[in-house]
Amino acid sequence: MNFSELKKSITTITESKSKTSNKLQSICDLLKAEVDYYNWAGFYFKNGDKNELKLAEFAGKPTEHVIIPFGKGICGQVAVSNQNFVVQDVTEQNNYISCGFQVKSEIVVPIFVNGKNIGQIDIDSHSTNPFSDKDEDFLEFVCKKVATLFDN
């Protein structure tokens, strides 16, 4: 896994002529396939005018968490804080929504369009302590590219 090469692939996907939903699915599939400790990759977006997130495209095991209220869980907290949230061990988080016993860590990075948080990328890992600053930088890059799909 090489983040520089993955950035090129992400750019190619976001600049393709596909529908936005197909681009998002391709990004999820690529991340899950190419980063061995990314066991689930998905996008959540603000659900209209509601203070909740709605699951969009993802790669990995289906989740029952299709709607997440703002403030609940890691994703819901990022919707409120507008900050990246890296959880190296989910057992250390009080406000964590379990997506299954296999998930040991999670990283969530918000997507901004014109300064407004419209959603986020959510990565779950079956390993404890897998994420580094390189993951955070890479996922920020992914979110900036995804933001261009919604910047009308």
Q: What is the per-residue pLDDT for 97?
A: 74
Look at residue 54 and tell me if it is in a domain: yes
CA distance 97 to 16: 34
The answer as to whether 71 is a domain residue is yes
Spatial contact of 134 and 107, defined as CB atoms under 8 Å apart: no
Q: Which domain holds residue 136?
A: 3-147
Looking at the domain assignment, is residue 12 inside a domain? yes
User: What is the predicted pLDDT for the residue at 151?
Assistant: 78
Angle CA 65–16–48, to nearest 5: 35
Q: What is the pLDDT of residue 1?
A: 64
Is residue 125 situated within a structural domain? yes
Low-confidence ranges of the chain (pLDDT < 50): none
Supply the pLDDT for residue 139: 98
Can you give the pLDDT at residue 126? 96
- Output the pLDDT for position 152: 63
Q: Per the structure, how many domains does the chain have?
A: 1
Q: Considering the domain boundaries, does residue 14 fall inside one?
A: yes
Q: Is residue 152 part of a domain?
A: no
In angstroms, the Cα distances linking 57 to 18, 42, 43, 89, 130 are: 14, 6, 6, 25, 23
Q: Spell out the residues 6+ positions from residue 86 whose beta carbon is closer than 8 angstroms to its own.
A: 106, 107, 131, 135, 136
Q: Kindly report the CATH number assigned to the domain that includes residue 49.
A: 3.30.450.40
Q: What local confidence, expressed as pLDDT, does residue 94 receive?
A: 78
Q: Tell me if 65 is assigned to some domain.
A: yes
